[in-house]
Structure 1
Amino acid sequence: MSRPDLPPLNTLLPFEATVRHASMTRAAQELHVTHGAVSRQVQNLEKALGTPLFERAPRSLRPTPQARRLAAAVREALDLIEAAAVEVSGRERSGPLALSCEPTLLMRWLIPRLPDLAARVPGLTVHLSAGGGPVAFGRDPVDAAVRRDDFPVPEGVSRVPLFAEWIGPVCRPELAERLREGSAGPVTLLHTSTRPAAWDDWRRLSGHAPTGATQAAPEQTFEHFYLALQAAVAGVGVAIGPYALVHDDLVRGQLAAPYGFVADGTGYGLLSPRPPERDARVAALLGWLREQAADLTPPARERSGVS
Structure 2
Amino acid sequence: MTRPDLPPLNTLLPFEATVRHASMTRAARELHVTHGAVSRQVQNLEKALGVALFERGPRALRPTPQARRLAAAVREALDVIEEATREVSGREPDGPLALSCEPTLLMRWLIPRLPDLTARHPELTVHLSAGGGPPAFDRDTVDAAVRRDDFPVPEGVSRVPLFEEWTGPVCRPELAERLLDGAPVTLLHTATRPSAWDDWRRLTGHTPHGTSEQRFEHFYLALQAAVAGVGVAVGPYALVHDDLVRGQLAAPYGFVADGTGYGLLSPRPPERDPRVAALLDWLREQTASLTPPSRYRSGIS
Q: Same fold (TM over 0.5)?
A: yes
2:203 equivalent to 1:205:
yes
CA distance in 2: counterparts of 1:304 and 1:50, whole angstroms:
63
CA distance in 1: counterparts of 2:5 and 2:206, whole angstroms:
63
Give structure 1 regions of 4+ aligned residues with deviation exceeding 3 angstroms: 304-307
CA RMSD of aligned residues (A): 1.0
Assess if the C-alpha contact under 8 Å between 2:172 and 2:227 holds in 1. yes
Q: Which of residues 287, 296, 300 is equivalent to 1:302?
A: 296
2:148 equivalent to 1:148:
yes
In the other structure, the counterpart of 1:101 is 101
DSSP-derived class of the 1:66 partner? helix
Q: Which of residues 291, 294, 297 is equivalent to 2:285?
A: 291
Assess if the C-alpha contact under 8 Å between 1:180 and 1:258 holds in 2. yes
Assess if the C-alpha contact under 8 Å between 1:168 and 1:257 holds in 2. yes
Q: How much has 1:181 moved relative to structure 2?
A: 3.0
In the other structure, the counterpart of 1:190 is 188
> Alpha-carbon deviations, 1:11-67, whole Å to 9, x = none?
101101111111111111111111111111101100000000000001000000000
Q: How much has 1:202 moved relative to structure 2?
A: 0.3
Q: How much has 1:120 moved relative to structure 2?
A: 0.8
Aligned ranges for residues 32-71 of structure 1 at < 5 Å?
32-71=32-71
CA distance in 1: counterparts of 2:145 and 2:298, whole angstroms:
30
Letter in 2 for 1:208: H
CA distance in 1: counterparts of 2:101 and 2:31, whole angstroms:
27
Assess if the C-alpha contact under 8 Å between 1:206 and 1:304 holds in 2. no
Gaps of 5+ in 2: none
Letter in 2 for 1:240: V
Assess if the C-alpha contact under 8 Å between 2:179 and 2:185 holds in 1. no
In the other structure, the counterpart of 2:117 is 117
Assess if the C-alpha contact under 8 Å between 2:163 and 2:287 holds in 1. yes
> Alpha-carbon deviations, 1:77-130, whole Å to 9, x = none?
000000000011111111100000000000000000000000011110000000
TM-score (norm 2): 0.98
> Alpha-carbon deviations, 1:197-255, whole Å to 9, x = none?
00000000111112x33xxx211110000100011011110000011111111111111
> Alpha-carbon deviations, 1:266-304, whole Å to 9, x = none?
000000000000000000000000000011110010014
CA distance in 2: counterparts of 1:92 and 1:304, whole angstroms:
48
Letter in 2 for 1:30: E
In the other structure, the counterpart of 1:26 is 26
Assess if the C-alpha contact under 8 Å between 2:252 and 2:299 holds in 1. no
DSSP-derived class of the 1:218 partner? strand
CA distance in 2: counterparts of 1:100 and 1:148, whole angstroms:
12
Q: Which of residues 248, 266, 269 is equivalent to 2:263?
A: 269
DSSP-derived class of the 2:124 partner? coil
TM-score (norm 1): 0.96
In the other structure, the counterpart of 1:89 is 89
Assess if the C-alpha contact under 8 Å between 2:252 and 2:300 holds in 1. no
Gaps of 5+ in 1: none
Letter in 2 for 1:137: F
CA distance in 2: counterparts of 1:160 and 1:29, whole angstroms:
31
> Alpha-carbon deviations, 1:120-153, whole Å to 9, x = none?
1111000000000001111111000000000000
CA distance in 2: counterparts of 1:237 and 1:24, whole angstroms:
52
DSSP-derived class of the 2:185 partner? coil
Assess if the C-alpha contact under 8 Å between 1:30 and 1:139 holds in 2. no
Q: Which of residues 269, 272, 281 is equivalent to 2:275?
A: 281
| Number of residue pairs matched by the alignment | 301
In the other structure, the counterpart of 1:250 is 244
